[in-house]
Structure 1
């Protein structure tokens, strides 16, 4: 009986902890839970136990301006938007491209970066045109824009999906992948951190029509307004420019994000 009672109490305590950790932040005294990745520098990554990167440091700046706190929680990208939609996370911060398909699940703030998609290859492979990847094995993070790109824009390639960037990068290094489809800034960081690996950029394409933005639950207009207001202030006073220069060493700041610029507006469909 005591053993059974102990098990019941343990389940009850665990259930209460899960409930307390989910949702709108009310249970955490106004602190909002942010789903993010741990391995996608320079945009989002874990360093010395601290969630950092351009996206997360910008979100901290927005939170400071708008008077709320953030608690970052590491997760896999494949389930991030669903977990924003179901209240597990209040915000998704993960270089999330604002595609029409994703707008069916969540709402997006205005954009805070644009970028390039690239396929990292072995050095000397000569894979600089998208058509050259037919019959090749290329990897992408499951559920990412790069996954969609690899599936729809690289004809004839065999797409292999991974839960995170590190896993795919490891397969490229050991030769079981011919290419690794990533945002170019993330590719730059991996190449900088592994200078002895014989890797290079293959095919690269600019992505401008779906800027990266923070994701929130549909209908949460109060939080969306705070994010957009704080982002506009961070653009106006040069905070966005400072953070971009800090984290992106090889990409220019889009003119729209310069102080005095109009920003990168994102339109959400009616809920």
Structure 2
């Protein structure tokens, strides 16, 4: 009898352990609450408003989650450590206008793309930073580990200054400690709109369409990746992607691929 009770206890404990597993690292997202790493200061894509994580990226993810039968819990994090946390299972999804680059595909898997963007250099008016060859000896602020970090590193002669978030970089641009601030153009536009008394302008700008913004997941979780792509496909088909884009990006037209019924922006993982 003692042996039987002992065996039953082991079985019950095992079942409890299985039922108590968190979403992180699980292969089935249905009905679970998934932890989403995001930023707090990159409007209109990702930001906090009245204590609520919102923005185009996060509202689209909420819509996808509803369609696919799971919940999302947003967690503010620094961009430099985001992909490592997703890859290790500390976070289930990365939602931070993450460009699906070849280098990043070595660490995580990406959903299909949900946005294209321009990378731009914001500077004080009259700084004359409109050309790629204008940056010798200039101090350029970037978010550490971002595509803009890589972009700035290719500008000949530039001194790249790295920050944990967008607010810190903007503060130094505003007080004159930086010559330029490298950001996605939509984020730069939002800061310009919110600070009309600061004399700022856009300088050197390039279109980034080959590496669209996409959600990051662990390579070991193909079920979640499929759910994200399925939900995104449905949101494209019924025009939700276009509607949310128009809501948050009032001055930028949606890419033709993301219009209602459009083909989307496929991402091929490594």
Establish whether TM, by shorter chain, passes 0.5: yes
- The residue correspondences of 1:233-248 to structure 2 (distance < 5 A) are 233-248=234-249
Once residues 177 and 216 of structure 2 are traced to their aligned partners in structure 1, the CA distance between those partners, rounded to angstroms, is 34
Once residues 246 and 73 of structure 1 are traced to their aligned partners in structure 2, the CA distance between those partners, rounded to angstroms, is 23
Provide the alpha-carbon RMSD of the alignment: 1.8
Instruction: Please report how far the alpha carbon of residue 21 of structure 1 lies from its aligned counterpart in structure 2 after TM superposition.
Output: 7.4
Once residues 109 and 22 of structure 1 are traced to their aligned partners in structure 2, the CA distance between those partners, rounded to angstroms, is 18
Instruction: Please report how far the alpha carbon of residue 219 of structure 1 lies from its aligned counterpart in structure 2 after TM superposition.
Output: 2.4
Instruction: Please report how far the alpha carbon of residue 127 of structure 1 lies from its aligned counterpart in structure 2 after TM superposition.
Output: 1.4
- The residue correspondences of 1:4-153 to structure 2 (distance < 5 A) are 23-24=24-25, 30-152=32-154
Kindly provide the CA deviation profile for residues 82-133 of structure 1, in whole angstroms up to 9, marking residues without a partner as x.
0000101000000000000000000000000001000000011121112111
Say if 1:146 and 1:182, in contact at 8 Å, map to a contact too.
yes
Say if 1:116 and 1:204, in contact at 8 Å, map to a contact too.
yes
Kindly provide the CA deviation profile for residues 126-169 of structure 1, in whole angstroms up to 9, marking residues without a partner as x.
211121111100010000000000012x1100000000000000
Q: Which of these two proteins has the greater Rg computed from alpha carbons? A: 2
Instruction: Please report how far the alpha carbon of residue 81 of structure 1 lies from its aligned counterpart in structure 2 after TM superposition.
Output: 0.1
Say if 1:139 and 1:162, in contact at 8 Å, map to a contact too.
yes
Kindly provide the CA deviation profile for residues 1-59 of structure 1, in whole angstroms up to 9, marking residues without a partner as x.
xxxxxxxxxxxxxxxxxx98782479xx7100000000000000011000000000000
Say if 2:23 and 2:32, in contact at 8 Å, map to a contact too.
no
TM-score for both structures, normalised by structure 2 = 0.90
Alignment partner, residue 17 of structure 2: none
Once residues 151 and 21 of structure 1 are traced to their aligned partners in structure 2, the CA distance between those partners, rounded to angstroms, is 39
Once residues 183 and 249 of structure 1 are traced to their aligned partners in structure 2, the CA distance between those partners, rounded to angstroms, is 15
Structure 2, unpaired ranges of 5+? 1-19
> Could you say if the C-alpha distance between residues 175 and 22 of structure 1 is closer, same or farther in structure 2, counting changes exceeding 3 Å?
farther
Runs of 4+ in 1 over 3 A off after TM superposition: 19-22
Structure 1, unpaired ranges of 5+? 1-18
The alignment covers a number of residue pairs equal to 250
Matched, 1:213 2:214: yes
Matched, 1:256 2:257: yes
